[in-house]
């Protein structure tokens, strides 16, 4: 299903046949083109959106949960996601109600060390509506209501606090959402950047180890393509982050540097001066998540929160 204007291009949405109607794994971006793709894709298998029994959302991001509410309206389907992401959806809705202009985003970037010139394009404040609130909240190891099948929720926080992989125990497959992708690594960011009560990258690395040992044949991710070799791929992704941690640690000295300066000094797929502000915002989130791990390992010290600065330890 297409993601308009996004380099990922599409989200893979899966349908499980059941006697009560299809159960979807994710629902795609809220856009008319995506809705047409969902309707057409189901129709190709003799299914109809109106017959959908449920939608299991791997995580709350808009390219996965965006259309879940519209599917529920069309079919009466339930929507399920992990409790931690359900809490986040509630918080996001409350923040948007209180601050429709989303000024908190600009404030966070300034604390990270972004300059007024950096904030000029405003792309970081593009409105994305919060997804629909789920009807059902899942916990780790829950069996999901998929009649005639055994689909088990595996909590894999990191990419989002409530990210889920879904183990189809009777089908030798695992739906990995954005947790394990075949060629790219998912975005692991810390927001707000100065938080010290969470460790998304640490959680992500632990979650990789949880799924890497599962005895499954085929891996069904939310982007790119289906593949085999789950254990090897999880090891590759972990190694990528260890290399990234070493790269960032090498930038730290005894002189305090802002998060923004550190992020801009890292090597990215796109050169920093050519990035949109939205891309720089995400890059800073990734750098913050890696710095959080370096802090926990005793390799980095936080010197101030406004602006957010770090030194080697």
- Cβ atoms of 23 and 55 within 8 Å: the answer is yes
Higher pLDDT, 294 or 127: 294
User: Would the pLDDT of 44 be above 80?
Assistant: yes
Summary mean pLDDT of the chain: 94
Fold of the domain built from segment(s) 14-250: Metallo-beta-lactamase; Chain A (3.60.15)
* Helical residues (DSSP H) of 62-102, grouped into ranges: 62-65, 68-75, 83-98
* Helical residues (DSSP H) of 76-199, grouped into ranges: 83-98, 103-112
Q: Which residue has the tokens 């979807």?
A: 24
Give the pLDDT score at 119.
Answer: 83
* Predicted TM-score (pTM) of this structure: 0.95
Calculate mean pLDDT across residues 260-265.
Answer: 98
- Cβ atoms of 170 and 148 within 8 Å: the answer is no
Reduced to 3 states (helix: H, G, I; strand: E, B; else coil), residue 136 is strand
User: Would the pLDDT of 155 be above 80?
Assistant: yes
């Amino acid at each position: 299903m297409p993601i308009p204007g996004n380099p990922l291009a599409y989200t893979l949405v899966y349908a499980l046949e059941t006697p009560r109607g299809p159960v979807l794994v994710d629902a795609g971006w809220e856009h008319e083109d995506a809705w047409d793709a969902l309707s057409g894709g189901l129709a190709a298998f003799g299914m109809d959106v109106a017959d959908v029994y449920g939608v299991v959302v791997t995580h709350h991001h808009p390219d996965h949960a965006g259309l879940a509410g519209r599917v529920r309206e069309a079919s009466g389907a339930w929507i399920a996601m992990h409790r931690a992401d359900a809490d986040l959806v509630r918080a996001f809705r409350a923040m948007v109600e209180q601050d429709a202009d989303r000024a908190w985003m600009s404030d966070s970037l300034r604390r990270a060390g972004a300059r007024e010139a950096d904030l000029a394009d405003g792309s970081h404040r593009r409105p994305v509506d919060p997804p629909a609130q789920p009807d059902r909240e899942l916990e780790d190891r829950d069996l999901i209501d998929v009649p005639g099948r055994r689909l088990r929720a595996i909590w894999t926080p990191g990419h989002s606090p409530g990210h889920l992989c879904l183990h189809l125990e009777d089908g030798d497959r695992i739906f990995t959402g954005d947790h394990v992708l075949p060629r790219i690594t998912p975005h692991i960011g810390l927001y707000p950047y100065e938080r010290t009560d969470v460790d998304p990258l640490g959680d992500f690395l632990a979650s990789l180890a949880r799924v890497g040992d599962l005895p499954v044949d085929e891996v069904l991710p939310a982007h790119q393509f289906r593949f085999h070799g789950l254990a090897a791929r999880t090891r590759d992704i972990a190694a990528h982050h260890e290399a990234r941690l070493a790269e960032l640690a090498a930038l730290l000295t005894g002189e305090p540097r802002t998060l923004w300066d550190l992020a801009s000094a890292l090597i990215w797929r796109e050169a920093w001066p050519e990035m949109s502000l939205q891309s720089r915002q995400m890059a800073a989130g990734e750098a913050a998540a890696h710095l959080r791990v370096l802090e926990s390992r005793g390799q980095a010290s936080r010197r101030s929160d406004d602006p957010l600065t770090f030194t080697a330890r």
